[in-house]
Amino acid sequence: MSEENAHRPSVLFVCLGNICRSPLAEAALRHAAEAAGLDMEIDSAGTASWHTGKAPDPRSCADALKHGIDISRYAARQVTAGDFQRFDRIVGLDAANLADLRRIAPVKAKARLSLLLDHVPGMEGQDVEDPYYGGPEGFETTWAQVRQAAQGLVAELSVARG
């Protein structure tokens, strides 16, 4: 096995507050990676610190639970400079957060930055809409989008591992 194939892939999902979209993306990728037998490091963070230490939005928790995944113990955190070395990929949930990530990335960052829906054929360049100010239906739409992207990421990483 080559050194590259021995490396455990790592992905960090980033939205604004780390209580709605990015925890759902983390949960979806954990679920998809486990189903595919892919050992990965997966986490989520926010570009803002408003919710640091808090659990995900109750509507995110409820939506994940509808899909058999408990995210109630996740805790929000802010992205750090160290994340750009720790993770292979840092994935923004929308263009604004991706722009913030590009702005704060250290010069010699290891992480490859991308937009989440760039990993879904036909949805490249699109944002995962923030469901925070809406009702439960927005969280279901977010779940559908992050689930599709998680499947795309697993497929990409499985091919890369050979």
CA angle 106, 150, 25 (to 5 degrees): 65
pTM (two decimals): 0.94
Consecutive H or E run containing 29: helix 21-36
Tokens of 79: 């992205």
CB contact set of 159 (below 8 Å; sequence gap of 6+): none
**Which pLDDT tens digit goes with each residue over 80-120?**
999 999 999 999 999 999 999 999 999 999 999 999 999 99
Helix (H) or strand (E) segment spanning residue 59: helix 58-66
Catalytic residue (one of 20, 21, 59, 100) = 21
Domain range list for the chain: 12-161
Whole-number mean pLDDT of the chain?
94
Q: Is the pLDDT score of 5 beyond 50?
A: no
Q: Write the CATH number of the domain with boundaries 12-161.
A: 3.40.50.2300
Task: State yes or no: is 130 an active-site residue.
Answer: yes
Q: Are 10 and 41 in contact (CB under 8 A)?
A: yes
pLDDT of the residue at 6: 59
Q: What is the dihedral of CA 82, 48, 113, 38, to 10 degrees?
A: 70
Q: Is the pLDDT of residue 44 over 60?
A: yes
Q: Which of 83, 100, 127, 130 is catalytic?
A: 130
Half-sphere exposure (Cβ direction) of 87: Cα atoms closer than 13 Å: 25
Bigger pLDDT: 146 vs 6: 146
